[in-house]
């Protein structure tokens, strides 16, 4: 551990698997104390145990980020377990694709809820803690910067056919980012976003027959990008490769370090040079 985030309390939603897991492991490797969340308790506990085995600190707050009361429970877990709140990464989410004429109201609302409404509720629940901590720091003459990193996508910056719900939510989170940077600047909170390009995860690595699915709250959701299409996309990436979850986590980490203390209200695209 290099301890660039020594003692910082970090909450990462959707951190039991995929990119979220790698974000959590990266922050923990730099000394942060983690609150791990996943829809399912098993992967959340496994990630937390990996951190603890490596000498770090982690607790679990399992459950859907869209559940009533989850946001308050998530924040409370960090405060009760570690006494504070320094980093929030709004990462949880999934895709449920369809062209506009076939998309149901349920599909639309589910994706808006997980990618846009849930981060809003988490930030709203965090505000009293952030405000109180900022006042404590000011009274003690300390300059402490806290971090929010919201996860967007190139679908949110440029749109993507078949993903009107996802693109709308991921575009909306950029508006949340810019607004919260203005509202929370007085608290010394940097609010930024990372928009991912093609990254190899269970949501993109579909089977050759196109029948890959995941279960989300008892719903079977089709996922995966056609392997041939993924190969074509790879050829369009200037760096020549689809990104890994570890590389995606590195982009988020940049916004969690003190090096970003004068950067706020911004987004970067982590896509190897690929843009829509």
CA atoms within 13 A of residue 173's CA, in its CB half-sphere: 39
Do residues 174 and 180 make contact, with C-beta atoms less than 8 angstroms apart? no
State the Cα–Cα distance between residues 221 and 226, nearest whole angstrom. 15
Which are the contacts of 96, defined by CB distance < 8 A and separation ≥ 6? 107, 110, 111, 165, 166, 221
> Which tokens is 210 given?
């196109």
Cα 101 to Cα 121, 158, 266: the distances in Å are 30, 20, 33
Q: 94 and 64 in contact (C-beta within 8 Å)?
A: no
- Catalytic residue flag (residue 253): no
Q: Give just the sign of the alpha carbon dihedral 260, 264, 265, 266.
A: negative
54 near 29, Cβ under 8 Å? yes
What are the catalytic residues?
Answer: 166
């Amino acid at each position: 551990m290099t301890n660039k985030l020594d003692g910082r309390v970090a909450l990462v939603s959707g951190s039991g698997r995929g990119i979220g897991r790698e974000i959590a492991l990266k922050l923990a490797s730099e000394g942060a104390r983690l609150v791990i969340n996943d829809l399912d308790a098993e992967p959340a506990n496994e990630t937390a145990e990996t951190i603890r085995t490596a000498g770090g600190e982690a607790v679990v707050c399992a459950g859907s980020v869209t559940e009533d009361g989850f946001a308050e429970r998530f924040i409370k877990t960090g405060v009760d377990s570690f006494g504070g709140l320094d980093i929030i990464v709004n990462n949880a989410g999934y895709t449920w694709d369809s062209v506009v004429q076939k998309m149901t109201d349920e599909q639309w609302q589910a994706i808006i809820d997980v990618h846009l409404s849930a981060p809003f509720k988490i930030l709203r629940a965090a505000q009293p803690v952030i405000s109180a901590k900022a006042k404590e720091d000011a009274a003690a003459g300390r300059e402490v910067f806290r971090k929010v990193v919201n996860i967007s996508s190139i679908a949110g910056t440029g749109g993507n056919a078949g993903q009107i719900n996802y693109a709308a939510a991921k575009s909306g989170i950029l508006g949340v980012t810019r607004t919260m940077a203005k509202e929370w600047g007085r608290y010394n909170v940097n609010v930024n976003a990372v928009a991912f390009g093609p990254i190899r995860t269970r949501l993109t690595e579909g089977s050759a027959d196109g029948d890959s699915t995941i279960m989300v709250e008892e719903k079977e959701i089709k996922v995966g990008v056609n392997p041939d299409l993924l190969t074509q996309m790879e050829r369009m990436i200037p760096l020549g490769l689809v990104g890994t979850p570890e590389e995606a986590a590195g982009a988020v980490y940049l916004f969690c370090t003190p090096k970003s203390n004068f950067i706020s209200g911004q987004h970067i695209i982590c896509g190897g040079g690929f843009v829509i």
